[in-house]
Amino acid sequence: MAALAGTPRGGWSSLRSGWSSLRWYVRGVLGGSAYDGYLAWHARHGHGRPMTEAEYWRSRSDHQEANPQGRCC
């Protein structure tokens, strides 16, 4: 019985870690991390103020509509 005493804590830790990994993956696939990448790029190379998140997504959407590319879906 003593061996099982630590299981819930370890189980929650594993569940939390798994959830975090899944969330990271889904954000990457759906493009949710694109703004974070833009901010990192801007910190290294940008001049002036970075776009707000709303401005970034509007710019990205406008660019995709002006330059259509083949997509899987």
For the chain, domain boundaries: 28-65
- Tens digit of each residue's pLDDT (9 = 90 or more) over 43-64: 999 889 999 999 999 999 999 8
31-35, 37-41, 50-54, 64-68: which has the minimum mean pLDDT?
31-35
Residue 52 tokens, joined: 């707000």
Give the amino acid at 40. A
Spatial separation of the C-alpha atoms in residues 10 and 72, rounded to whole Å: 40
What is the reported pLDDT for 39?
A: 94
pLDDT more than 90, % of the chain: 41
Read off the pTM: 0.59
Spatial separation of the C-alpha atoms in residues 39 and 28, rounded to whole Å: 15
Q: What does the buried/exposed string (b/e) look like for 10-30 if buried means 16 or more CB atoms within 10 Å of the residue's CB?
A: eeeeeeeeeeeeeeeeeeeee
DSSP 18: H
